[in-house]
Amino acid sequence: MRVLSRPTVRVCCLLLAVWSGLAGPGGGGMPASAASGPSESLKSALSPAQWKQMEGCVDRALAWIASSQAPDGSFPSLQQGQPAVTSLCVLAFLSRGHQPGFGPYGVQMNRAIDFVLSCQESDGLFDYEPPSAAGVVPGSGAAGENPGQIADASQIEQQLVPQRAYSGFGRNVVGRNASGATYNHAIAGLMLGEVFGHVDAQRTKEVKLAIDKALLFTRNLQTRSKESDDDKGGWRYLRLQFEADSDLSVTGWHLMFLRSARNAEFNVPQAWVDEAMDFVHRCWVEDDGLFHYTAWGSQSSQYTRGLMGSAIVSLSLAGQHESLQALAAGDWLLAHPYQEFGQKIGRGDRFYYSTYYCSQAAAQLGGRYWKGIYPPIVETLVRAQEADGSFPSPDGTSFRGFGGRGGGTGEAMYGQDYMTAMAVLSLTPAYQLLPVYQR
């Protein structure tokens, strides 16, 4: 009897969902290449009418995202946010059951994947390099600016991260995208791991080569010299900090990349994961029963809903979703439900970032956590959606440039496509179509 490889199994399962043409829980017909409904174990959190309302919200959001694609295949964002934002948009389509090369968004997804692949540098890092160094006023949309990139945030970058040269891979990163690049890299790698086996033969070869190189870069970044043993095993920015050199946020994304790659049968040694999980555990503070941003230093007292969700997801990826730490973090999230759009808890919290992580965390924990955390997120996001299908800035920031799709402050800095993709990913974990998040 022939045994199917894991990528082949993933494709077959998704094609069965597509071909079945099943109706959603509300009884309505689903798009030709979309999910048939939430998994049975997560279905009871909403009524059939609420599921139908949520699905309509997601489908309008995806149609809006598709309409914004730039000629280069990207979805608009800061240069410093690419290719992460484009990757998040692809993940949003995947989370609803859409596939590269098939259905209403197949062409757009393939073009976006090609853009992400084009962003990989020779050492394996995924980070956008603008095709021209010509100066453009940020957010102006001036002639000659790449259509997919909203603005150059290099000045914002310098304010966010102290300059300290890092040449661990043979280059000095001062003046480059030293803080955003590690997010770009991990999120792009995660997306490619999820599409591996779902694209055509030529793209499969390209994706495989790209993931192999990206994994080596991730490992080199994980094992570089760090000032404190408390930071070992984790990840942070390319440019080393004046104190903590690993944080829970960046580490969570790299763990998801490793899990996605391992699911697709790439070589991810268990030691890489174990070292990362040791760092995650060091971010737990027993005195207050919370996960914190860093294991030591001035930011070690910082905690948010997003960080709590990130920790739960990280623990779940390592099979520790029933640990006392995961359950305690889940209890904290239950005690801090989403009550209004844009609500933030903790210094440095980001609304869409936190809804994404909390929704995924709730799905991993299941049971009372899912029923208590997910419905308020759905209610808040569905109510906030714009008439055109997009999602607004949580801070009331107006968008500038590129048809009003981005260039504001805070989370809005990364554009409306970013926020809309994160909203979709916050709403769709019940479909369990992204292998990295399957329970």
* H or E element at residue 315: helix 305-317
Distance of CA 156 to the CA centre of its chain: 22
Mean pLDDT over 51-72 rounds to: 97
* H or E element at residue 383: helix 367-384
User: What is the pLDDT at residue 243?
Assistant: 83
Closest CA to 360 of 36, 95, 100: 95
pLDDT digits (tens, 9 = 90+) for 241-280: 658 999 999 999 999 999 999 999 999 999 999 999 999 9
Question: In the structure, what pLDDT confidence band is assigned to residue 392 with cuts at 50, 70 and 90?
Answer: very high
Mean pLDDT over 282-308 rounds to: 93
Q: What is the pTM of this model?
A: 0.86
Q: Does position 431 have pLDDT exceeding 50, yes or no?
A: yes
Work out the number of other CB atoms within 10 angstroms of the CB of residue 392.
19
List the Cα angle 162/163/168 in 5-degree steps. Answer: 120
C-alpha distances out from residue 430 to 135, 286, 313, Å:
44, 31, 15
List the Cα angle 420/364/311 in 5-degree steps. Answer: 80
* H or E element at residue 291: strand 290-291
Domains and CATH numbers, the chain: 6-437 (1.50.10.20)
Q: Does position 67 have pLDDT exceeding 80, yes or no?
A: yes
Give 56-59's long-range contacts (Cβ < 8 A, gap of 24+).
57/381, 57/382, 57/385, 57/427, 58/96, 58/424, 58/427, 58/428, 59/31, 59/34, 59/96
